[in-house]
Chains A and B, each alone.
Chain A
Amino acid sequence: MGTSRAAAILLAKELRLEFRTREILTATVVFVLIVIMLFSYVFEPTAGESRRYGPGLLWISFLFAGSLMLHPSFAREQTNDTLDALRMAPVSPFSILLGKLLANFVFLSITEAVLVPVFAVLYNLSLTGVAGRLAIVLLLGTLGLVTTGTVFSAISAHARMRELLLPLLLLPILAPLLIAAVEATTALFSEQPVLDRTWVPFLLGFDIVFLSASWLLCGFLIEE
């Protein structure tokens, strides 16, 4: 069976499980909404301050959301050893990783779709005219975040203290991505919005490097 077909089957399984239990999405969306609202009360931002601080706060919220939802990705396969059942099936290890990665991408994208309009209202920022370009930055940043996070979720799933281990492994690796995403988002919310020609290609490069690395290393990640 081809990798894409197997990944699609596993993505459907992940979506079915999540929309049935709502374990990840509900908790994550509520948590990040609280975070973004608390930030807005603390800073009481004007439009100028929002342009400076807003993108950073937005990506910190996405990082919190990612940390919350990426941990259960592989950890919940430990119930009944279902990861072993997937490993015994005649599908490539990359298809298992890709199914998880795509599911995490969908979950984080849904969270962002809820969060960004609320953020725009609370921080007095207009999305008019930048929505399409912001979507590109969000897509590239989210893809990098979930790719890296899914890989480290697989690594940390078998470790003791795994809840602590995942953020510890993830944050240093994600630092360049977060800087690039914040800079690219700041450029979009400036008085003359532009799609930054340094940071957007950097995000694309980060995604390509980590997707390639996950493809090359998936055998070690998914196996024993």
Chain B
Amino acid sequence: MSASDTPSSSGVRVCGVRFENIEKRFGSLIALRGVSADIQPGEFVALLGPNGAGKTTLLRITALLMSPTSGKLRFISARGNADSPDSAPAANGSSPEQTKRLIGMVGHSIFLYDEMSASENLNLFGQLYGLDNLSARVTAALAACGLASRAGSLVRTFSRGMRQRLSIARALLHGPRLLLLDEPAAGLDKQGLEWFGATLSRLRNEGCTVMMSTHARNESLELATRVISLRGGRVEYDTGTGGDPRPRLAALRAEAG
């Protein structure tokens, strides 16, 4: 399953996101303190930082699962191809339903029903996204994530790694142009990690924008074109668009031992 095989249900080819002074409070706790960043379409952003830095909150705000207390979130999308992202801006002013078609998310939870089979889960979400050729898409998605032989098995019978692979397949089913990944490699075995790495690599080549929260040792970080580190709800550093994230990643790995 690839984004080019399964173009976004919105018809949009590329999507970026702009954070303008985002602040998020939970009562007296301030999770994000004026986060600003301009994520260009096609960028692969590694979101790093210690526990409680605000990574998950930022991803959930981007997924429209929560609203910022203050600040603005803007999506920048175009119907052209990844090489000409400015060809026809589309998402600004779009309805939340249209914007949601651009976004796929893998979170801490798997977002799947335990008492439904793998194929029933994918069919359900495919129907909600109004996808064409759903049966073929679901078959392809299950084959891609290595679960074709367990298509009819209930999710509750799956191992942690199988559940995570299915969760990733669910997030990619509608061909999102902005992929949000929150510790996506959790529970994946060596085979699963290889499949996941290859999938991310293909998505990056196809111009899909990726924001991935992870730890410094994750091998998928080699794909990152930009590193944003959060600490205490603030941007600690940002290698920026076009910057080289490798020295920073190397330093982080050395720090982590």
B223 at interface by CB-CB < 8 Å: no
Q: Could you tell me the dominant secondary structure of chain A's interface residues?
A: helix
**B124 to chain A: which residues have CB within 8 Å?**
9, 13
Q: Could you tell me the dominant secondary structure of chain B's interface residues?
A: loop
Q: Is the CB of B113 within 8 A of A87?
A: no
A6 at interface by CB-CB < 8 Å: yes
Q: A80-B111, A80-B112 are in contact. Are A89 and B67 (CB under 8 A)?
A: no
Nearest CB of A to B96, in Å: 8
- Within B136-150, the residues touching A (CB, 8 Å) are none
Q: Is the CB of A88 within 8 A of B100?
A: yes
**B63 to chain A: which residues have CB within 8 Å?**
88
B116 at interface by CB-CB < 8 Å: yes
A192 at interface by CB-CB < 8 Å: no
Nearest CB of A to B206, in Å: 21
- Within B63-93, the residues touching A (CB, 8 Å) are 63-67
Nearest CB of B to A103, in Å: 14
B195 at interface by CB-CB < 8 Å: no
Q: A17-B115, A84-B65, A84-B109 are in contact. Are A91 and B128 (CB under 8 A)?
A: yes
- Which of A9, A16, A21, A81 lies in contact with B127, CB distance below 8 A? A9
Q: Complex Cα distance A21/B156, Å?
A: 12
Q: Whose C-beta in chain B lies nearest to the C-beta of A9? A: B127
**A9 to chain B: which residues have CB within 8 Å?**
124, 127-128
Q: Select the residue from B63, B67, B124 with max chain A CB neighbours within 10 A.
A: B124
Q: Is the CB of A17 within 8 A of B128?
A: no
Q: A9-B124, A224-B67 are in contact. Are A88 and B115 (CB under 8 A)?
A: no
B129 at interface by CB-CB < 8 Å: yes
Q: Is the CB of A85 within 8 A of B116?
A: no
- Within B100-127, the residues touching A (CB, 8 Å) are 100-101, 103, 105, 107-116, 120, 124-125, 127
Q: Is the CB of A84 within 8 A of B111?
A: yes
Q: Is the CB of B115 within 8 A of A1?
A: no
Q: Is the CB of A90 within 8 A of B101?
A: yes
Q: Complex Cα distance A111/B121, Å?
A: 28
**A13 to chain B: which residues have CB within 8 Å?**
113, 116, 124
Q: Complex Cα distance A92/B96, Å?
A: 9
A197 at interface by CB-CB < 8 Å: no
Given contacts A81-B107, A224-B66, 16 further A-B contacts (CB under 8 A): A1-B128, A1-B130, A13-B116, A20-B115, A20-B116, A80-B109, A80-B111, A81-B111, A86-B128, A87-B65, A88-B100, A88-B103, A89-B128, A90-B9, A90-B128, A224-B65
A sample of 22 cross-chain residue pairs with beta-carbon separation below 8 angstroms, ordered by A number, consists of: A1-B97, A10-B128, A17-B115, A17-B116, A21-B115, A80-B113, A81-B109, A82-B111, A84-B107, A84-B109, A85-B125, A86-B128, A88-B100, A89-B125, A90-B97, A90-B129, A90-B130, A91-B97, A91-B128, A92-B97, A223-B67, A224-B67
